Amino acid sequence: MARALHPHAMAGASICACAVVRLFFLTAQRGKDSERNNQSGCNPLTTATKQPSKAASQKISLPKPTAKTPASSQSLSWWNRKSLVIAVFTLSAIVLHLVLRFGVQTTAVVSNVPLLATLVFGGVPMLYDLLRKLLKRKFGSDLLGGISIITSVLLGEYLAGSIIVLMLSGGEALESYALRSASSVLAALAKRIPSVAHRKRDSEIVDVDLQDVSIDDTLVIFPHDVCPVDGVVIEGRGVMDESYLTGEPFQITKTSGSKVISGAINGESALTIRATQLAADSRYAKIMEVMRESESKRPQLQRLGDRLGAIYTPVALAIACLAWAISGEATRFLSVLVIATPCPLLIGIPVAIIGSISLCARRAIIVKSPIVLEQIAACRTAIFDKTGTLTYGAPALTEQLVAPGFDKREVLTLVAGLERYSKHPLARAILDAASKAGITLPEATEVGEQPGKGLVGTVSGHSLQVTSRNKLAEQKIPGADQIPPVAGGLECVIVIDNRYAAAFRFRDAPRSDSRSFVKHLAPRHQFNRVMILSGDRESEVRYLAEQVGIKEVFAEQSPEEKLAIVRKETLKAKTLYVGDGINDAPAMMAATVGMAIGQNSDVTAEAAGVVIMDNSLTKVDEFMHISRRMRTIALQSAVGGMALSVIGMGFASMGYLTPVVGAVLQEVIDVAAVLNALRAAFPPKVIHDL
């Protein structure tokens, strides 16, 4: 026993260090999630709440779902807390044991007290849970770990038993944390809708509960408020941001007769609307319902360790029983089980996962579910949202069609000088184009937006008007017959000195790396199909598909339709879904791997298994490389460790290894597996192909 003491101490210390990393990660991630949920600068909605109107200052919530939380979700939450407590307690007990035994140098009886407490406090509940799995015929790596706990107690190897408890509880806590419950997603959704609406009757505006809003009620939406129900504008003019709901990349102008949808963010102007739907029937409520359905049907993915353990556990038990039966010596059964303890599975794989999660975090990639690290390499169908994913999510000036007699640069100079005083969504695109062209903006005077004319003003002695082709046709401006035919995208028409001068066209520009990223998916990552799934218009989606090289296109899709398509594709092959808006969240959860780009939506971040903090497809490629490397390293540690353990089991079954020697040998195998697994935390020489 004395010979095994020091190696066990060393192994215990190394495993304690791994456990500290794991527990630190769990605590840090919880802190980050809390901070992220409380931050207000991540997206336009929370920015809006920083400048609240009377409604915005109200607590934002939705009526609680009537459906009860599934019992399995409650059990998962309870086990998550229990396993984390056991892991912390066990880690403390092991450290105390090492201090008492090697620091204070007390007797073995005294130093073993913390370990015995661990085996009672942590081992008994875990053995009970493992017994339930055994009765359900679930053979995983943790089952053999439970048998090894009992074996270690019978052998008096309390440190080894405590380490197994630590690995089992720590691994469960890490995985349970990553498996997000439906309530967290629904809570994020609920934050985006007000609990009250401003109902207008005669000249009085009264705040009423959202449930009390009736069809045909007149409601006022203050600047920066979130639209409470679907309706039609009856008074006012402004813009709304619907991008997180519809996939439409631009802020939408709203005027009398325009439809508004619940969940959209109002701009700078107050709007008066007539409610056309009850709150429960409005667009946002439908998305929430789809979200609940998607969460309830989310597939449970099997862990890599469990798949390997399902093979390894019966083999180890068979060898142990066979050794006992042939020799007639119970000690051989114990010797085989001690060296068969699946620590390469219980330690090597979690360490590789934790290292990869840490590496991802340093690369601005937040891994919310370790399962996605295992699954991404098996995905064969890539599905992309359009707006904000393959594009920048903002209009860019793509064409300047100038009429004869006008200079292209001069027209842009005059228009940019006028547009800097405008809050129109296209003004920023024009100013960006002027900046790239190195244009110095001239001063504008007499600037205004007149009904039926658009933006007007005087720049460098020229009268300017920026309007639409329909308004221009009503005014019968000279040269209007030279306006080019209608094309896809957005446009504005320029009138200079009462003559048609130019037409500016805008598109949601593709990211600079979109085409190269899409092109390399098949040869580098074995994707067989790539498609776009968007809520945007058909013409816009097809235009982008041509730009980036995607042939399969699904346009004008609602969240419900997106969800149905993703489920259908996931039945055929494992899927990767990449998006950034609320309308992507249900489909993202139905995919094998859901990935959110950017920090535009807290709802999308909750639904995704991976969140790319930077708006870059290069980071998506980095995650693919990190996950593939993690899987390789984890398999090396697990399979290599198991192979050595199987060889050791052979010697133990023949009587060449005593239980104590087997325990020491197993610790050596464990340390080798952990050291190899730690390589996952360090970046490789090549981390992306773009």
Q: What is the pLDDT of residues 442-466, one digit of tens each?
A: 988 888 876 667 889 999 999 999 9
**Rounded CA gap, 592 and 594, in Å?**
7
Could you tell me which of 395, 363, 340, 446 has the C-alpha nearest to residue 663? 340
Please report, rounded to a whole number, the percentage of residues in the chain having pLDDT higher than 90: 22
Sign of the torsion angle spanned by Cα atoms 365, 366, 368, 373: positive
So what's the pLDDT on residue 184? 54
Mean pLDDT of 418-432: 85
Mean pLDDT of 379-398: 87
What kind of fold does domain 393-508 have according to CATH? Calcium-transporting ATPase, cytoplasmic domain N (3.40.1110)
**pLDDT of amino acid 33:** 46
pLDDT at 114 over 80: yes
Would you kindly state where each structural domain of the chain is located, as residue ranges?
2-39+70-179+298-364+622-679, 195-296, 374-392+511-621, 393-508
Secondary structure class of 298 (helix, strand, coil): coil
Highest mean pLDDT among 83-92, 195-204, 246-255: 195-204
Nearest Cα neighbor of 250 from 506, 65, 616 is 506
Strand order across the 381-384 sheet: 365-367, 610-612, 593-597, 575-579, 381-384, 529-533, 552-554
Of 133-137, 319-323, 381-385, 423-427, the range with the highest mean pLDDT is 381-385
Tens digit of each residue's pLDDT (9 = 90 or more) over 541-566 = 888 899 899 999 998 888 888 999 99
Q: What is the C-alpha separation between 317 and 329, in angstroms, rounded?
A: 15
Determine the pLDDT at residue 123.
Answer: 85
Q: Class assignment of domain 195-296?
A: mainly beta
Q: What is the pLDDT of residues 612-648, one digit of tens each?
A: 877 788 999 999 999 999 888 988 888 888 888 889 8
Q: Answer yes or no: are the C-beta atoms of 370 and 173 closer than 8 Å.
A: no
**What are the backbone dihedrals phi and psi of residue 468, each rounded to the nearest 5 degrees, phi first?**
-105, 165
**DSSP state letters, 622-635:** HHHHHHHHHHHHHH
pLDDT confidence bin for 389, thresholds 50/70/90: confident
Scored b (16 or more CB within 10 A) or e, 348-382 reads bbbbbbbbbbbbbbebebbbbbbbbbbbbbebbbb
Rounded Cα gap, residues 627 and 352, in angstroms: 10
pLDDT score recorded for residue 601 = 60
Q: Is the pLDDT of residue 159 over 90?
A: no
Would you place residue 88 in the very low, low, confident or very high pLDDT band (cuts 50, 70, 90)? confident
Instruction: Tell which residue, 278, 342, 383, has the closest CA to residue 644.
Output: 342
**DSSP type of residue 226:** B
Question: What is the per-residue DSSP string for 442-511?
Answer: PPEEEEEEETTTEEEEEETTEEEEEE-HHHHHHHT-TTGGGPPPP-SSEEEEEEETTEEEEEEEEEEEEP
Read off the pLDDT of each residue in 233-252 and give the average, rounded to a whole number: 77
Establish whether domains 374-392+511-621 and 393-508 are of one fold.
no
Amino acid letter, residue 664 = V
* Complete DSSP assignment for 588-604: HHHSSEEEEESSS-HHH
Q: What is the pLDDT of residue 538?
A: 84
The whole-number average pLDDT for the span 491-514 is 90
- The residue among 191 and 262 whose pLDDT is bigger is 262
Report the pLDDT value the prediction gives residue 474, as an integer from 0 to 100. Answer: 81
Report pLDDT digits (tens) over 31-49.
Answer: 444 444 443 333 333 333 3
Residue 226 has pLDDT above 50, yes or no: yes
**Which one has a higher pLDDT value, 199 or 249?**
199
Say whether 429 sits in a helix, a strand or coil: helix
Surface-to-core class of residue 650, CB atoms within 10 Å of its CB (0-12 exposed, 13-18 middle, 19+ buried)? middle
Looking at the domain that runs over 374-392+511-621, which CATH code has it been given? 3.40.50.1000
- In what helix (H) or strand (E) does residue 18 lie, and over which residues does it extend? helix 2-38
432-465 core/surface letters (b: 16 or more CB in 10 A; e: else): ebbeeeebebeebeebebeeebbbbbbbeebebb
Buried residues in 183-222 as b, exposed as e (16+ CB within 10 A): eebbbbbbbbbbbbbbbbeeeeeeeeebeebeeebbbbbb
Report if pTM > 0.85. no
pLDDT of residue 511: 86
Helices (H) and strands (E) in the chain, counts: 26, 22
